Amino acid sequence: MHFRKRNTWPLHLMILPGFILVLIYSYGPLAGMVIAFQKFVPARGLFGHQQWVGWANFDYALQFPGTLRVVWNTLYIASMKIVAGLLVPVVVALMLNEVIHAKLKRTLQTIVYLPHFLSWVLLSGILIDILSPGYGLVNAILRQIGVDPIYFLGDNRWFPYTLVVSDVWKEFGFGTIVYLASITSINPQLYEAAVVDGANRWRQTVHITLPGMRMIIVLMTVLSLGNVLNAGFEQVFNLYSPQVYESGDIIDTFVYRVGLLDNQFGFATAIGLFKSVVSFTMISIAYYLAYRIANYRIF
């Protein structure tokens, strides 16, 4: 035991900087949750002589006209992202698995994975140019086939779906790599036996590949439930405008606007705390289901 501790302390020391950052940036701000129960005045300090109002901020949040709309937008957009973010990587992984040429396969994997490393600040500028109704590439193509230009980022009918499609385009490469890794763990002798029995590639996919991916698909599905109230602040913040508040305003952007721009600190903190409690509950349920269904455990 002494030998094991002596040889693992450098590994624990490597974890120390990350542990300190988590304490500072993740656990330290939890003290600010008291603002949800105060009529907060910044000049008095966090633990100064603030006026405690109990549940008044939560009552105001429930009665505020835009709260239900914002919660619905968040659930609607996040749910579509979860479903599309699970289906698209599975389909792409199955398609890439059929590519026989190894060099071409690696090239395609790199291409689909590349957008994952780009920030939404950069991608939003690209999307604004591509989707512009006046000079954007997409609307130029639509004009060529006789379709009127579509204001993807300024029309409430199109904006939620634009968010979902652009998010899937950015992130599906990561999921594809995960599912490809699960495919490589399938016993090749199963495919050999299927060929002997006369199964074509489609039947091999349906009866061998998909069942072999079942556990990782279930795991990824269950774990994604924890993101049901995370519709993507960075993406929405960089793409939305007042014209699409009705369909694109989510909890995170709403909290940012009423808290930092309108200085309603208690109100914004109350909504943020509500979201955190619901997200924590969903994540707890998701990990329990992951353990029960897929035997997934962190510790």
Secondary structure (DSSP) of 189-225: HHHHHHHHTT--HHHHIIIIIHHHHHHHHHHHHHHHG
pLDDT at 3: 47
User: Residue 161's pLDDT band (boundaries 50, 70, 90)?
Assistant: very high
pLDDT exceeds 80 at position 293: no
**Structure tokens, 245:** 């508040």
Radius of gyration of the chain (CA): 24
Question: 230-253 burial string, b = 16+ CB within 10 Å, else e?
Answer: bbbeebbbbbbeeebbebbbbbbb
In percent, the amount of the chain with pLDDT more than 90 equals 30
Q: By the 8 A CB rule, do 263 and 175 touch?
A: no
Per the CB < 8 A criterion, the answer to whether 268 and 284 are in contact is no
- CA-CA distance, 49 to 46, in Å (whole number)? 9
What pLDDT, on a 0 to 100 scale, did the predictor assign at position 7? 72
Q: Any residues with CB less than 8 A from the CB of 151 and at least 6 apart, and which?
A: 133, 158
Separation of first and last alpha carbons in the chain? 20
**3-class secondary structure, 46:** coil
| Euclidean distance between CA atoms 152 and 259, whole angstroms | 28
Whole-number pLDDT of residue 162: 94
Would the pLDDT of 90 be above 70?
yes
Pair 209, 97: CB distance under 8 Å = yes
What is the predicted pLDDT for the residue at 237? 93
Which residues are CB-neighbours of 138 under 8 A, at least 6 positions away? 130, 131, 150, 152
On average, the pLDDT of the chain sits at: 87
pLDDT higher than threshold 60 for residue 114 = yes
pLDDT at 97 over 90: no
Average pLDDT over residues 110-131: 90
DSSP designation for 39:
E
Residue range 70-294 in CATH 1.10.10.60: no
